[in-house]
Structure 1
């Protein structure tokens, strides 16, 4: 199987590493020529949870259009980069399946406007952190869910069989529901870690942070009937435990002075709740706190 992973952020690099370990031929599409040259020369290194290192050879390129036919294209860039990438993806052969690995809900309808016959979405719960341009840190165990939205599901079933011994991949039925549930998990963890500048595990050990997370959870299950059956509070705790050493993507963005995905994750949930007649005051406060921090950083 030949797979392209578009994006060399934490999730993209960790996914590429796992796929390569499973014997899949992986090419990573990156923006910088220097990174492509380094990956082609030294390969991709993963620092495992126990501190050991796994190194695998991958290909790297800065141009999707020059690649030969691929069995699957995995899109692992952040939402903000998708807007410039859609054009490149739209000219790929229509029979090449696409798998999107973004947080939030905003990309769902957008991606389905592409001409490709098979499009799927992913929800990733494992922790990852970039160390350098060819090294990624595995920061927490977790499931990778894939939900096909249209087209032939065969490629994803085959992928599941190939990576079964390397990392946990599960096929889901409803892509939109899966993305919604992941966005809820993100809302419960990411804004708090970014505001309080805590790692995921500290949300459990700091009693005040834990109280805020519980308050927010109760607010969300009031707004979305049936949510508790699919996302129990124990699930939230389990994610924090499994990724306790992880720096959430929203906190990483704050520390690096980047704009976060607050609108595509939290903003989307706020809009969805408002349609149900709920304002989510706690989450809305966190939302505006993050925006205030980002505006302040822009001024500096």
Structure 2
């Protein structure tokens, strides 16, 4: 039985902590600690001083990437249940909110934790291998961005810049390419070191259009298919699932995808959909049929993204590689 609902406002150096109390008696239920191991130990001592049973606690915090990683791991060591929530979700749940301090933010998060106590799905941190893979994917993405910039420079200024400048750009591009290859090798070695990750990766890459980046992305963001129950939920997260707008008799808009999504995943899925529309006979025929029927290219590509997501969830659920039913289509 959960009895204590704690909100943590996270920043780079400090954590502001508040235990929810309807009386709004903040000073007695508020603590500010350093965002490090010393502060975490102070937090656990503070809970013990209040005779709080760890099994009766739910902690809620904003999802802030690297800044909430250490406290999340510490909570798991203490077997304290916690939820990491998008800051946007918490802000939109506040209604009219006046004033802003770290103490007040911590209270508001604790109140959110209390009000939605029956709906929480507790968060669990990824394995060490997945955390390292996440870092490598981020590093790879930065190198790819830089390589795109350099290729743009080489294309635009090949006849205008000095040869020495172009030579340095080409050298940097070659160096980035070697870094990307090294990163991909390290990712594959980490995947192969974990039998569960290796099994999922092998199944996912059996799908035409899904290669290293998209396979690793879906493993990362679903925590190896434990954070999302079905393909539609993940499609919604990626911004692929369309939503309609209807009100009374005057508003009836066509379903559209939402901009509130993970744009990085959506962009990577676009590359997978493009590849599948070229090299998968079944999807190629689907694309041609829809275009001939007058559908917009973007709408058809979005449908292909959803098909790929459904295929990815299907092969994992079934536990067998993708079967190319349209392999003999022409």
> When the two structures are superposed, what TM-score results if normalisation uses the length of structure 1?
0.31
Query: Highest CA radius of gyration, 1 or 2?
Result: 2
> When the two structures are superposed, what TM-score results if normalisation uses the length of structure 2?
0.29
Structure of greater relative contact order (alpha carbons < 8 Å, 6+ residues apart): 1
Higher helix share: 2
